[in-house]
Amino acid sequence: MSQTPTQTTLPLLPGPLSDGSMATLGVLGGGQLGRMFVHAAQALGYETVVLDPDAGSPAGHVSQHFIHADYRDAQALRDLATLAGAVTTEFENVPAESLAALAADRPVSPMADCVAIAQDRIREKAHFTRCAAAGGVAPAPYAVIESEADLADVPDALLPGVLKTARLGYDGKGQARVATRDELAAAWQQMGRVACVLEQLLPLAAECSVIVARGRDGQVVSLPVQRNLHRDGILAVTEVFEDNVPPALAQQARAATEQIATELGYVGVLCVEYFVLQDGRLVVNEMAPRPHNSGHYTVDACDVSQFELQVRTLAGLPLTAPRQHSAAVMLNLLGDLWFDVVDGEDVPRTPPWPALLALPGAHLHLYGKAEARRGRKMGHLTFTAADAASVRATAQQACALLGLEAF
């Protein structure tokens, strides 16, 4: 394309414009989060453009425009800036330098600097520690390991602990539990001696997360606190209803998340995950500069979803505080559900969709992925009801139908 991008003036309004064109929003990344962003943008009256290196991109299949290219492809980034009036990202491992390059011509949210901090556990922990010093929530005690000297200096009090690579870890990948110094040294060696963070292993009672949206004017709105259950490092269940987390802890988590976003000068949707310890204390774990798996229930249980908030922050539209109108439970659907094991071999099957959709308050969301693989996120199933007891009972029925462990 030979066009030169013109400067975008915010707000970028939806629907047909005075010149007969349609405003277009861009997204780097074409997985399920990008797909749901595209749906939200289109519902508001925008066209969309997706850039993704996967020709089978779920978001690319539903977008008006799709650029099949690497995230670092300079021409592809120029094409994206030509088509899109503003650009966001669907996941944190998009190169921060690509976001910075786009920001020379277009509003980009979240900003490259914020994404770069979320990509690096060392910088992320430092930011959490600064926020804690100003009255926020502290991370677990930790040490940075970048050299043999750092390894030798690890305090005994941090063992047993969890060793995590500083970069490119997600869904439990790039992590190892270690109980002794020998195990720590072996795990660091196995990880390629890359920069890591060792976190003290703490006695957990629960996990939760908070999603906020922050506009360019500094306004922040928050979603309810989500109570989460992870299995094998992957989110399995999210429960959102009154008193799913003690009210004082919920208030503390929401305030801490707003502080984390504000101190970053963040623009966009941000999720921060927390641990609730057995003694009742709250510990901040990590952040994701994007919509989050634990917020998928908002599409069905809130009047403004996390994806609509992403569109609004990107386009410079007003933010309104989301209101949850139904108690909700979200079940993550992994590719494992598409297989039975017979004589030790995987045999393909189709999950029992008719029986599941016959349950009251069932909302099925499949992500358009053509191939099911074990551990791959294929979709989610949200249940809504008037109260916590009803929605939990129905979700447990769904678990039994799917062969999932009860929660």
Beta strand 86-89 with 24-28 is: parallel
Residue 3 is assigned to a structural domain of this protein: no
Alpha-carbon gap, residue 295 to 111, rounded angstroms? 21
Is 164 annotated to bind a ligand? Reply is: yes
Instruction: Count structural domains, the chain.
Output: 3
Residues 64, 184 within the same domain? no
Residue 242 is assigned to a structural domain of this protein: yes
For residue 164, what are the β-bridge partners? 175, 197
Side-chain half-sphere exposure of 153, counting CA atoms within 13 A: 10
Residues 96, 188 within the same domain? no
What's the pLDDT tens digit per position in 68-80? 999 999 999 999 9
Is 42 annotated to bind a ligand? Reply is: no
Residues 269, 361 within the same domain? yes
Which single residue is written with the structure tokens 């952040």? 287
Of the pLDDT bands very low, low, confident and very high (cuts 50, 70, 90), residue 280 is very high
Task: Mark which of 86, 108, 130 sits at the end of a domain.
Answer: 108
pLDDT for residue 177 is more than 90: yes
- Report the largest interatomic distance among the alpha carbons of the chain, rounded to a whole angstrom: 68
Task: Mark which of 92, 108, 124 sits at the end of a domain.
Answer: 108
Averaged over 343-357, what is the pLDDT? Answer: 96
CATH, residue 304: 3.30.470.20
The pLDDT assigned to 182 comes to 97
What does pLDDT average to over the chain?
Answer: 96
The pLDDT assigned to 19 comes to 85
Residue 60 is assigned to a structural domain of this protein: yes
CATH, residue 150: 3.30.1490.20
Alpha-carbon gap, residue 233 to 89, rounded angstroms? 23
The pLDDT assigned to 1 comes to 39
Is 228 annotated to bind a ligand? Reply is: no
Is 230 annotated to bind a ligand? Reply is: yes
CATH, residue 73: 3.40.50.20
pTM (2 d.p.): 0.95
Domain that holds residue 362: 204-402
pLDDT for residue 97 is more than 50: yes
Residues 180, 248 within the same domain? no
Alpha-carbon gap, residue 367 to 377, rounded angstroms? 8
Is 173 annotated to bind a ligand? Reply is: yes
Is 46 annotated to bind a ligand? Reply is: no
What's the pLDDT tens digit per position in 184-200? 999 999 999 999 999 99
Of the pLDDT bands very low, low, confident and very high (cuts 50, 70, 90), residue 2 is very low
**Residues whose CB falls within 8 Å of the CB of residue 153, separated by 6 or more in sequence, listed in order:** 143
What's the pLDDT tens digit per position in 389-401? 999 999 999 999 9
The pLDDT assigned to 3 comes to 56
Is 52 annotated to bind a ligand? Reply is: no
Residues 356, 243 within the same domain? yes
